[in-house]
Amino acid sequence: MILGIDEVGRGPWAGPLVVGAVVLGEASIEGLTDSKKLSAKRRVALDIQIREKASGFGLGWVHADELDRIGLAESLRVATIRAVEQVKAPYSEIIIDGTINFLKETTKGQYVTVLPKADLLVSSVSAASIIAKVARDEYMTAQDVEYPGYAFTSHVGYGTAKHRLAIEQLGVTPLHRLSFAPLAKYKPQIATTMQTTKQIGDAAEREAEMYLVAQGHDILQRNWKTKFCEIDIVSLKDKTFYFSEVKYRKKTTQGSGLDAITLKKQQQMKFAAELYASNHSLKDVAMRLVAIAVSGTPPTVETYLEIE
């Protein structure tokens, strides 16, 4: 009963840092290894098996703005703690890929073994690396729609020549880590630019995401889109899939964001959830629609409502 832990996204210029945590238990899954040694198609297939068969798993996210604020080392610690807090299955040992015990200052620190290349040697760590990689890649692919021209799908935020050229031509986005040396020169640009409506919306959705994580949800995807519909946040808790619509109001005097969840909107949300389930081959699973009202500056969750 090993809890395996691995991270993805330590070095990119853009996008979140994601830590995976998996207890395989008695699950037997063939082909588990370091996620970097697998094709994207194979990773996705294994990700589905891990989520179905593992005794427990979790994902810890730290987005670019938080990473810039607290630093990479602290982000690794925070993301690891967030991932572990989501794992409800029992385990007797924790193995972290690498050389640093990110749980050292917690009550679980004494049960940790750090092991370089653990993602090659320990199945549960391999599984953790796979679910973290798939989740992050899917997130960055979704951002390609939000920020066209950056080709996030192809480089998923890493500092490639194509990515560098896009930044020089288009500037940086809220996804970019301005604490990283190659992007530091863009800090004044951000500081003197007013928040766009999209940036405010992103901040509201991140707050809603953190609220869900605190309630025990595993965030599967943000901003899932097709040409027919979109879903702000897809999450999983206690084998139930939650599809959340986030509505933001700067001031509570402007009314609740839930005022926008009309009957027509609820029908659209139901259609989107059913389409997501079909696209991801989810059969006979419990699903809930959720509306989350966020308000204020900085944004905070005002109301969480499960729609009948």
**Is residue 252 scored above 60 in pLDDT?**
no
Sequence-separated (6 or more) residues with CB below 8 Å from residue 85: 58, 60
Q: Which of 265 and 8 is assigned the larger pLDDT?
A: 8
- The answer on 265 and 203 residing in a single domain is yes
- The answer on 120 and 34 residing in a single domain is yes
CATH number of the domain at 116, please.
Answer: 3.30.420.10
pLDDT confidence tier of residue 66, bands split at 50, 70 and 90: very high
- The answer on 156 and 83 residing in a single domain is no
Token pair, residue 302, equals 């005002």
Counting the structural domains of the chain, the total is 3
Q: Please give the single-letter amino acid code of residue 37.
A: K
Range of the domain at 182: 144-191
Token pair, residue 140, equals 């960055």
**Is residue 195 scored above 80 in pLDDT?**
no
- The answer on 126 and 53 residing in a single domain is yes
Spatial contact of 192 and 110, defined as CB atoms under 8 Å apart: no
Express each pLDDT in 200-219 by its tens digit. 778 888 889 989 998 899 99
Token pair, residue 97, equals 């890929």
- The answer on 82 and 158 residing in a single domain is no
Express each pLDDT in 32-45 by its tens digit. 999 999 999 999 99
- The answer on 109 and 36 residing in a single domain is yes
Sequence-separated (6 or more) residues with CB below 8 Å from residue 253: none
- The answer on 215 and 178 residing in a single domain is no
Spatial contact of 35 and 119, defined as CB atoms under 8 Å apart: yes
> Tokens 């994601």 sit at which residue?
18
- The answer on 121 and 151 residing in a single domain is no
- The answer on 273 and 298 residing in a single domain is yes
**pLDDT for 192:** 47
Spatial contact of 234 and 220, defined as CB atoms under 8 Å apart: yes
- The answer on 266 and 223 residing in a single domain is yes
pLDDT confidence tier of residue 10, bands split at 50, 70 and 90: very high
Q: Which of 138 and 299 is assigned the larger pLDDT?
A: 138
Sequence-separated (6 or more) residues with CB below 8 Å from residue 152: 14, 15, 140, 141, 143, 144, 175
Average pLDDT, the chain: 89
Domain end marker among 132, 166, 191: 191
